[in-house]
Each structure stands twice: as C-alpha cells, then as structure tokens.
Chains A and B, each alone.
Chain A
Amino acid sequence: MEQRKEEKNKYSIIIPTYNERLNIALIVYLIFKHVRDVEFEIIVVDDGSPDGTQDVVKQLQQVYGEDCILLRPRPKKLGLGTAYIHGLKHASGNFVVIMDADLSHHPKYLPSFIKKQLETGASIVTGTRYAQGGGVHGWNLMRKLTSRGANVLAQTLLWPGVSDLTGSFRLYKKSVLEDIITSVVSKGYVFQMEMIVRASRKGYHIEEVPITFVDRVFGSSKLGGSEIVEYLKGVAYLLVTT
C-alpha cells in the first residue's frame, strides 16, 4: 500500500484481436465502466483484420481519447505469443493485463485482479475458472471432460501450484512478463500453460482470483484431436525443460 503512494501504478491492458469489430467496442466500453480510480491504457494488437476492427478502434479513440486506447496493428496473423510481445513493447504501465477480445473474459473482474495484486504484492495474478465463485458457461459434457482430464494430467505431472493452467486472463508485473515471455516457445493453449509453469519454476509469487468464462460462440473453444495431441506434447515438453 505504501508503495502505491510513492509511485502511481499504471495498468496496460493488451488485447490481441482478429475480426472483433463488435467485441472490441463492447469490451472497451465495459473496461471504462468497471475500471475506476486507476490509471490504465488499452493496447489493441490487431492482426490485419479484414472486417474493419481497426476503424472501430480509431472511432473508440475519438470517444475515449488516444492516450487511453492505443492501436498497435500488425500486417497479418502472426500468433498470440508474438502479439503479447508486440503489445508489451508499447506498454507504458508497470503492470500488464492480458485478456481475450471475444468477451469470454469480462472486464468486471479487472478490479479484483488489481485488488489482489495490491493486497499480496504478487508478481502474477491469474484468473481461475475452477475456484469458488468462478465457472464456465457454454461447454458441453465432452468439453468439460477434456478440460478436467487435461487439468488432472497436468496437475499430477507438473505440480504447477495454480488451479487453472490454460486460462488467459492474467495480470503480470511488466518486468516479470518481459522476463518469462522470451523463453516461451509454445503456441495456442500450451502457450498459457508454459507461461505460468515457467513463472512458477522461477519462483515468482502467483495468486489466483475466480473468474467466469462465458463461451458465447458455442463450441468455439472445443478441443479437437490435434489440440489434444498438442496439449500432450506440451505437457511432455514442460516435463523435460522446466
């Protein structure tokens, strides 16, 4: 708390987008509605969406101010991991929040991330769907089964110390994110798992807050055979490299 008085915290919210012109507008509105009394900026990393996402972001800049919403586009789809690295280069805050643009992550939880970090001084606060107060909506039985199976496997083999490994709604100290993101090589689901496992191995203080996850496009996050194979490879890779 005392540290807060000396230097004001600033939160850089990095949101990678691809064809999210409606969702980015909604999420920006909800961020400004729910995040109050803290300094923050939204960094939209758009991978050359053909649907006009960038035009919508420019209009939002007119409404909310260009210093609060930064558009940092890239010419084409280049992947999630590099999107965070790209956004990170332009972040001026001492904390970085990463979240999905599709509204499966609701900005109303941002204050609880910030509060948890201030209370505990944690390096990372990660959203968990599996704790009391959290939850998932829009998954069928098969999707829940794969999720639980994947989680039990990773918990048994990797002992990561967090309950939700593949969640991607997280708050990082900027220096910590910069430190771990360069050593992460995985893509997709495994990327989020590798980030948190590497952070845990490096001894960073990780705290969890419950979040809810609403899958609006039903089955958009379904796991196919190839994703399961990638996941198993990811667990094996983390076993021998961390």
Chain B
Amino acid sequence: MRHVIKIITILVAISAIWIGLLQTAVIPNSHTWLLPIYLVVLLGCYGLLMVGVGLMRFPTCPQEAMLLQQDIIEAKEFLKQKGVDFGSD
C-alpha cells in the first residue's frame, strides 16, 4: 500500500469519528466544530516540541574533531615515509 494511502486512511478515520460526534452530539456541537482546529494546533505543537527537544539534545562531538586531527597527522607521516605524494594541501 502506498504510504500516502495509509495517511489518508488515518485522516478519513479521524473525520469519521468527528462527524459521528457532530451527529450524536455527545459533547456540545459548538465544541465539536472546533476540534479540527485543536488537532492542527496539536500537530504543530508536536512538531515544534520535537524540533526543540532535538535541537536541545543535539549530540555534538568536539573531541572527535581533535582525534581526527591526530589521525591525519599520523596518516600523513606514514604516507610520506612510503613515498606517497598527495600534494601540499
């Protein structure tokens, strides 16, 4: 099944529940009408929260950059010994 179909199916199911709520009026209709807006706001909040949390906990590795510099020096020395000419940069 195409992935977009899965997502559309979920949206249709949510719409069906919503229409059901409108029809049966378990909660007042004035509230029910606003539910889709709440849903969109909720989705937006989820997105912002995930980006925010991801950004705060973004894993960084400054020590790796230093280790790499050491590896580069070591590699250059070895390769020069072996007579590999890789230019001056």
Contacts and interface: CB of A to CB of B under 8 A. Distances in A.
Interface stretch (B11-19, B24-32, B50-58): B50-58
Interface in B47-89: 47, 50-51, 54-55, 58-62, 64-65, 68, 71-72, 75-76, 78-79, 82-87, 89
Contacts of B2: 239-242
B3 A242 contact: yes
B7 interface: yes
B75 A56 contact: no
Interface in A210-242: 212-214, 216, 238-242
A216 B59 contact: no
B39 interface: no
A242 B47 CA distance: 23
Contact of A60 (B3, B51, B60, B84): B84
Interface string A130-142: 1110111110010
A118 interface: no
Interface residues of A, number: 46
B3 A63 contact: no
A214 B4 contact: no
B51 A156 contact: no
A234 to B, nearest CB: 13
Given A135-B59, A151-B54, A216 B3 contact: no
Nearest to A26: B75
Interface in A91-148: 103, 106, 129-132, 134-138, 141, 144-145, 148
Tell me the dominant secondary structure on chain A's binding face. Answer: helix
B64 A152 contact: no
Contacts of A63: 79, 82, 84
Interface residues of B, number: 31
Nearest to B54: A148
B60 to A, nearest CB: 5
Interface in A150-171: 151-153, 155-159
A188 interface: no
Contacts of A22: 86-87, 89
Interface of B: 2-4, 7, 46-47, 50-51, 54-55, 58-62, 64-65, 68, 71-72, 75-76, 78-79, 82-87, 89
Given A131-B59, A158-B3, 5 more contacts: A106-B68, A135-B59, A144-B55, A145-B55, A156-B46
Interface of A: 21-22, 25-26, 29-30, 51-52, 56, 59-60, 63, 103, 106, 129-132, 134-138, 141, 144-145, 148-149, 151-153, 155-159, 201, 212-214, 216, 238-242
